[in-house]
Structure 1
Amino acid sequence: MLDEDQKIAFELANGHNLIISGQAGTGKSFLLKYIVKDQREKQKNVAIVCSTGIASTLYEEFGAKTLHKWAGIEDRRHLNEEIIHLVQSDERFMSVKHNIQTTDLLIIDEVSMVSAKTFNKVEVLCRKVRDNNKYFGGIQFQIKLLEILVATVLKLPWFDDCFPHKVQLNIIHRQSETALIQCINALEKGEVSNENVAFLNSLDRPLPNEDTAVHLYARNYDVDIFNYNKLQQLQGDLKTYKSTDVGSDFYLRKFLAPKNLGLKVGCHVMLVRNLSDTLVNGLCGTVTQLNSDSVDVKFIISNKLSTVTLKPVVFTTYDPADKEYLAKRTQIPLKLAYAITIHKAQDMSLKRVVVNCEYCFKP
């Protein structure tokens, strides 16, 4: 059943561009899924996209993918004019052209994670490829965001004109988690009460099996130190995969894939590249075998255990203005995952966590 706010949004979903906002627990994701099912029953071609690969797994049953993949801007190499030309004329972009030309309704989960530059590029691309001067070439567009977040897309000069309908959800539906949700919302607003502090302190307890817990840190530096120490404690032979690098050290240091990837059988790892709709950036698994030029990793994909052989891929940084690569790294797309950053943990479902709040920004 939908509450009154959800019903309003649901009705507006029929033919209108719409923003759905609300705090944690108000049923935004539930409503998006409800809208997708309803619109597809009405024979609408609905695409749902997310800002990250791991977030797209939340809508796996609807064939969700990243916005970058849907629009063909994954490697960010091209200026607006170039990507428009490629989508319209290059056979490699036929699936992207099909996406844009056939989609009736495009839904994006959490637009606050998308830059204004990227959002504007997608708008221009849709308009040009569909040869239609309406916003997004006439594609109906609906987005979800947290009301507390200041999304950069809101500052685009055409945004309010494109999205005249805004519905805020107010009723918290996860009653079993009311205290937690209220505390999260208070933290987001920077309005933390003594009751919130007491509740957070109540969550601080020994874990029954801390070895399986993921440790969260604010800084990559702390993550790397923790992961290195955990790997040293693991029994077995260490194998190091060295990357092949070309270009500036300044840009090479920014790649998620490390220059030297040290692994042992049984170590916890994370994918750092979207390889398919199911093998996505942020997916965690366990190493089962170390080969000369590849690594076998056991992942849980669609609630099933699957072993995947991962080989090196090319990571690039490209300057579209000068039309040249600034850096290239060929490496197996993995990193250790005993610890990850708090930022990287967004949209993940973690059973056990140990949170280190040092160096976190205060509200």
Structure 2
Amino acid sequence: MIYNEHIYNEALGKIEDKVMAMVGKKLSDFGMISPQRTTENELSDEIIRETNYDIPALQQQVAELVPRLLPEQKRVFDKVLGQIESGNGALFFLDAPGGTGKTFLLNLLLAQVRKDKNIAVAAASSGIAATLLSGGRTAHSVLKLPLNLAQEESPIFNFSKNSARGIMLRQCKLLVWDESTMSHKKAVETLNRTLQDLRSNTDVMGGMVVLLAGDFRQTLPVIQKGTAADEIKACLKSSILWNKVTKFSLTTNMRVHLYNDVNAGNYADTLLKIGDGRLETDAEDCVKLTRDFCNLVQNHSELIPSVYSDLTNNMHEDKRLCERAILAPKNESVNKINSDILSEVGKEITEYLSVDTVVDTEQSTSYPVEFLNSLELLGVPSHKLQLKLGVPVMLLRNLDAPRLCNGTRLRVTHLGRNIIGGTIMTGVGKGENVIIPRIPITSTDLSFQFKRLQFPIKLSFAMTINKAQGQTLQVAGVNLEKPYHWSILRRLIADWKH
């Protein structure tokens, strides 16, 4: 291998990019040498990333799959492409319940634009959803969204007009944003202002064609310590841009269409009725689930074996582990179920304790270590992490997208002192063996900045219903021992078969 300063600098740049994605810090923050970056080099990387596709393969994909589009899909396809060809921008929203072919359509649109050597950017509000899009990345990664976007009065994206990212977005023909319904309305409003500035165009989205997609019946923006009214206020439909959006809907369930599956059709119809508020409720405004809709058990002690039968003998079957999960509304219930299952499987428990600190050292005396250890925060691993070999875990941070994203599930294969080994069970890296390090995770959800050094994973026998967004499950159990509002029950994923 030939060594020179250019290769060395390029390696430093790639390492820093990984570190930035993992912990949001530069190499200089760790006392390392920083790469020498130029706009020209960064622009080259940006353009290569968004144009480095197999053109003949894309042409074949379009030729083979466009004829398979259903009329409602073809209508969206033609309208979006027509708007791009006209040179006029537009803001579209695609309402698509699970199972209606949304991802198929989005990937086909991306292929159509890219086969002509144009830039089409694919973003999603969650790591799992991003892995389902060709060339997909999280919206936070693509647009460099500020972490505390919801708290800022007028948030801005973390790149300048003349940066490589800014120049790439000026050249972009189509921006697809999947699961946009999960994002705060400020994210889309900030995108609009940013594109108007980048492209020196006061039209909506600066004259770019932007296609938002999602399902308001599923996960809305999560507002810390907020009410249902706060979630609605933060959602896209409450945005000043909503009356400028051209709306489309996909309604045909593909399983029913392709396989004439009557049971799947009835199940999908019931889910839609729940999500649309059309299912009959009782005097307390509760939906009564019936045995022809799902199997009912009395408590989570009965629920566990119904989902994980003979788990001890099936712990090393990745396919069986990744295709099933128990879902619950709150982390409290999830943690209890995970703990109960862990105690019943495997042998020796390995325990990992985090190192918790206050970022501002002047405030450290106000917050004892015992208090910091007790904190359970959204997206932050627990202070005490207990694991056994073979158990399924879920990543809580993007480590190496698209293989290792927030939401990726793995089976633990090694429990070392400073590293944890695992086999990826879901997504594009399925079957690969990887190493998970401890990383510093900073939370801004408190009145002070708090940092926890811990492995960014948690057990995933059970997970929250929100965290299940984008997961495909063959067998799912749902713990509704505590009341759960009917309007959110639609989040019970349309990808389940049982």
Bin the TM-score by the shorter chain.
Answer: 0.7 to 0.9
| Residue segments in structure 2 that go unaligned for 5+ positions in a row | 1-67, 84-89, 219-231, 281-286, 298-302, 312-320, 359-366, 488-498
Amino acid at match of 1:330: L
Shift in Å at residue 174 of structure 1? 2.1
Q: Which residue of 2 aligns with 1:293?
A: 418
Residues 228-270 of structure 1: per-residue CA shift (max 9 Å, x gap) = 2222223333222221212365895314211111222222211
Shift in Å at residue 148 of structure 1? 4.6
Amino acid at match of 1:288: T
TM-score scaled to structure 1, two decimals? 0.85
- Using the alignment, how far apart are the partners of 1:362 and 1:203 within structure 2? 17
Q: Which protein has greater RCO, CA pairs closer than 8 Å, 6+ apart?
A: 1
1:47-62 matched pairs, under 5 angstroms: 47-59=121-133, 62=134
Q: Which residue of 1 aligns with 2:251?
A: 170
- Using the alignment, how far apart are the partners of 1:44 and 1:29 within structure 2? 20
Q: Which residue of 2 aligns with 1:223?
A: 334
Percent of residue pairs bearing the same amino acid type:
24
Q: Which residue of 2 aligns with 1:10?
A: 77
Pairing partner for 1:21 from 81, 95, 100:
95
Q: 2:438 aligned with 1:345, yes or no?
A: no
Q: 2:175 aligned with 1:106, yes or no?
A: yes
Residues 273-329 of structure 1: per-residue CA shift (max 9 Å, x gap) = 01122201111111111111111111134264111111111211348xxxx962111
Q: Which residue of 2 aligns with 1:259?
A: 383
- Using the alignment, how far apart are the partners of 2:386 and 2:355 within structure 1? 15
Change (3 A) 1:81 1:342: closer
- Using the alignment, how far apart are the partners of 2:167 and 2:414 within structure 1? 39
Q: 2:282 aligned with 1:182, yes or no?
A: no
- Which protein is richer in strand relative to its size? 1
Q: Which residue of 2 aligns with 1:214?
A: 325
Q: Which residue of 1 aligns with 2:480?
A: 357
Shift in Å at residue 133 of structure 1? 3.2
Shift in Å at residue 8 of structure 1? 2.1
Q: Which residue of 2 aligns with 1:157?
A: 240
CA contact (8 A) 1:245 1:252 kept: no
Secondary structure in 2 matching 1:17: strand
Change (3 A) 1:34 1:83: same
Secondary structure in 1 matching 2:293: helix
Q: 2:278 aligned with 1:197, yes or no?
A: no
Secondary structure in 1 matching 2:140: helix
- Using the alignment, how far apart are the partners of 2:100 and 2:196 within structure 1? 33
CA contact (8 A) 2:161 2:167 kept: no
- Using the alignment, how far apart are the partners of 1:199 and 1:36 within structure 2? 40
- Using the alignment, how far apart are the partners of 1:128 and 1:252 within structure 2? 41
CA contact (8 A) 1:80 1:125 kept: no
Residues 25-68 of structure 1: per-residue CA shift (max 9 Å, x gap) = 33322222222222222333111111110111222xx1111111
Q: 2:144 aligned with 1:72, yes or no?
A: yes
CA contact (8 A) 1:46 1:104 kept: yes
- Using the alignment, how far apart are the partners of 1:245 and 1:10 within structure 2? 50
State how many pairs are aligned: 352
1:124-163 matched pairs, under 5 angstroms: 124-146=193-215, 148=217, 152-161=235-244, 163=245
Residues 84-123 of structure 1: per-residue CA shift (max 9 Å, x gap) = 5x51289xxx564355333221011122111112222232
TM-score scaled to structure 2, two decimals? 0.63
